[in-house]
Amino acid sequence: MIRLLRAAALAPLVGGLLGTAAAVVVPGAPLRPQCASAAWAHRVALVVEHGDGRVLRACIGFDAPTISGEDVLRASGIEYGTQTYPPLGDALCQVDDEPSRYTECLVGGQPYWALFVSRAGGPWAVATLGVSSEAFADGDAEGLRYDDPGNGGTPPPPSPAGTCSQPAGLPAATSPAGARPRASAAARATSATPASSVAAAGSAPSQTPGLVGATPPPRRLPGAQAAAAPPLNAGVLAATVAGGGLVGLLTVLASRRRRAR
């Protein structure tokens, strides 16, 4: 049981410690706000808590059955940087220009971005996959918190309640400029319906996920980005997780950092 609890606590870090690829930085896009009644089929809430306690919230609309955590973040327009650690996906190195500079994505004993999930209005839980691999459905919420392991534990971000105040699927009174109309129920029939019949029914491709609400989240001033970290030996990682838990993992990372100097 203790090892299971340790594994859960390690998820925000382990999502990025099994072999690395080059870091990717996605700048915050100047998104045009959509009206609150925009016609996406589903919604997911995004809550981002900075180290100083500042909180950003966004409601993201999408039409597919699920959406990845990275697509949620991308649709919000908030800047972020990731590093890929197969097989669990991308770890978040930077969000909304915090930290302003970094040379390694995950460093033992240093603050890091922890990823949380809330399913259908339930409580926050630590994610078990990286942000690119974690999937969210209608009514779920994605939480990010810049956590300092020196404070002990991994507290969650504030509640996502109220972030998406309108239920999904409400008909739109007006459509935002450039938005495609939602397909009718008949056009969203099973794949057994011939493509020609769907086209005749006047359906349109799913909309790109986007921001729902009147105001995009505020952004920090851009900071400098840095190169990716060298890979961590997978065998060392596995032994550390099984035996030493979070403390052991952070010790390995700290030793690795000292050897690199």
Does any domain span residue 171?
Answer: yes
CATH of the domain at 241: 2.170.130.30
The DSSP call for residue 4 is H
The pTM score is 0.63
At 205-255, the pLDDT tens digits run 568 999 997 566 766 655 444 444 444 444 434 433 333 333 333 333 433
Query: What would the DSSP string read from start to end of 44-62?
Result: EEEEEE-TTS-EEEEEEEE
- Whether pLDDT at 81 is above 60: yes
Does any domain span residue 47?
Answer: yes
Q: Which two tokens stand for residue 2?
A: 């203790």
Q: How far apart are CA 132 and CA 259, in angstroms?
A: 30
For 25, the 3-state DSSP assignment is: strand
Does any domain span residue 192?
Answer: no
Residue 60's closest CA among 75, 78, 48, 74?
75
What domain range is 227 assigned to? 2-177+202-260
Say if residues 52 and 64 touch (Cβ distance below 8 Å).
no
Q: How far apart are CA 75 and CA 61, in angstroms?
A: 9
Mean pLDDT on 36-50: 86
Which pLDDT value is given to residue 220?
A: 61
Mean pLDDT on 169-194: 37
Q: How far apart are CA 84 and CA 68, in angstroms?
A: 15
Does any domain span residue 184?
Answer: no
More confident: 229 or 140: 140
Does any domain span residue 185?
Answer: no
More confident: 32 or 158: 158
More confident: 65 or 14: 65
Q: Which of 128-137, 193-202, 233-242, 251-260 has the highest mean pLDDT?
A: 128-137
More confident: 127 or 252: 127
The angle that helices 245-260 and 234-243 make with each other, rounded to 10 degrees, is: 150
At 149-165, the pLDDT tens digits run 888 888 999 999 999 98
More confident: 216 or 91: 91
Which pLDDT value is given to residue 261?
A: 42
Does any domain span residue 64?
Answer: yes
Mean pLDDT on 107-129: 95
More confident: 102 or 220: 102
Specify the number of domains making up the chain.
1
- Whether pLDDT at 19 is above 90: no
Which pLDDT value is given to residue 167?
A: 53
Say if residues 11 and 127 touch (Cβ distance below 8 Å).
yes
Which pLDDT value is given to residue 11?
A: 46
Which pLDDT value is given to residue 126?
A: 96
Does any domain span residue 189?
Answer: no
Does any domain span residue 111?
Answer: yes
